[in-house]
Amino acid sequence: MSDDMNELDTPTFRLAVAQFDQAAERMNLDPNLRQRLKLPERSLIVSVPVRMDDGTVKVFMGYRVQHDSSRGPSKGGIRYHPDVNLGEVAALAMWMTWKCALAGLPYGGAKGGVRVAPKELSRGELQRLTRRYAADILPVIGPDKDVPAPDVGTNSQVMAWIMDTYSQQVGFAVPGVVTGKPLSIGGSLGREEATGRGVVYVTLEAMRHLSLDIDKASVVIQGFGNVGSHTARIMRESGIRVIAVSDASGGLYNAKGLDIPELLRRCNQDGQPLHDTKLGDWITNEELLALDCTVLVPAALSEQITHKNANKVRCRVLAEGANGPTTLEADQVLTDKGIFIIPDILANSGGVIVSYFEWVQDAQRFFWKAKDIQDRLQEIITAAFHRTLQFSMAQQATMRMAALMSGIDKVAQAHLARGLFP
């Protein structure tokens, strides 16, 4: 890795660059473009001082990385997690670029984050942290520049505080500065469940393509946050048995199918931890990934399926709800086993597709019905799936390679058309 990348040198960024290199090699991408697309266009590191409830001031590290803006404003989530670092944020920004291009959205990729354990903060501390971070990144965000959204550890309330902080600075309400907001201030119907719904739409398409019987199918989901819980609910509504789900502490397993509505009621309304619901047998996350199932959805954090456990994975379809859950070595093992992988930049693009709808609605000051949003999401994400599938068969490439090559090619075309300034 060149000296330019020392600060970015983390496992997640190495994975993103290695995937890019493989695709660029196969595409014979212009060497000048390769260098430009490997490194982010702009990286901002901020120190975020926050007055804690006990009167002390604590300083947190914050980041905003814009990978590419050749096709439009950059777009990407904000993550609050103790492991956030520049390399991880840069990798996620790169994946967002390919994801937006693959879905045909007029965006480049960005990502942001603060290195913090949000659950350890009071609501007041979380609000002060968010507003200070928003003020620090204010010069580089805006509805026509860079549009943040929720990610791991953030939600619609955090987006509302960012929107308010930005609006206070400019002197009028700017709903389009972020997406994933509450409905009362310009949020969109269907945004909260969008990533999970998108995962289900592409999984159903993959199962039809592979002639798998949906009535007999079973699904295992790692992660029971926003993406995992909505995926579980919508899978269940589609008539598919969800036999296991998990969170950071472990998972629940029931071969006949978990009672997902009851599980969601207890976890969301009653605030019960997954373990305490007693709705299935308690298993570890390692055991969960090795369960025999039709579909496995890793919807937690990156690098969960590695060379160490890839051999134990026993699914027919792997639908990546999380970003970068499969390492390069594991990818090869799974492909050799004949597992059909729906790559992250395709499988979890429902979130950014509905974020795009929200941004458009804010710009038009005209809001759509929930049914319109679901129909348009299904149309865009299934079209992207079939384009990728056809490309993969024509090029005899894996779905991941086909998705990356399609996304990278669109961005490369934009760069070649615009040229290099000055």
Cα–Cα distance, 277 to 242 (Å, whole number): 16
CB 118 within 8 A of CB 82: no
What SS3 state is found at 246?
strand
Size of the chain in residues: 422
- What pairs with residue 247 in β-bridges? 250
Cα–Cα distance, 95 to 103 (Å, whole number): 12
Active-site residue, selected from the candidate residues 111, 119, 256, 410:
111
Cα–Cα distance, 90 to 88 (Å, whole number): 5
Helix (H) or strand (E) holding 230, with range, is: helix 226-237
Check if 111 is active-site: yes
* DSSP 8-class letter at 269: I
Contacts of residue 307, Cβ cutoff 8 Å, sequence gap at least 6? 327, 329, 330, 333
Question: What is the torsional sign of CA 147, 36, 44, 20?
Answer: positive
Long-range contacts of 183-186 (CB under 8 A, 24+ apart): 185/160, 186/358, 186/361, 186/362
Question: From the DSSP assignment, how many helices (H) and strands (E) are in the chain?
Answer: 14, 12
| Catalytic residue numbers, as ranges | 111
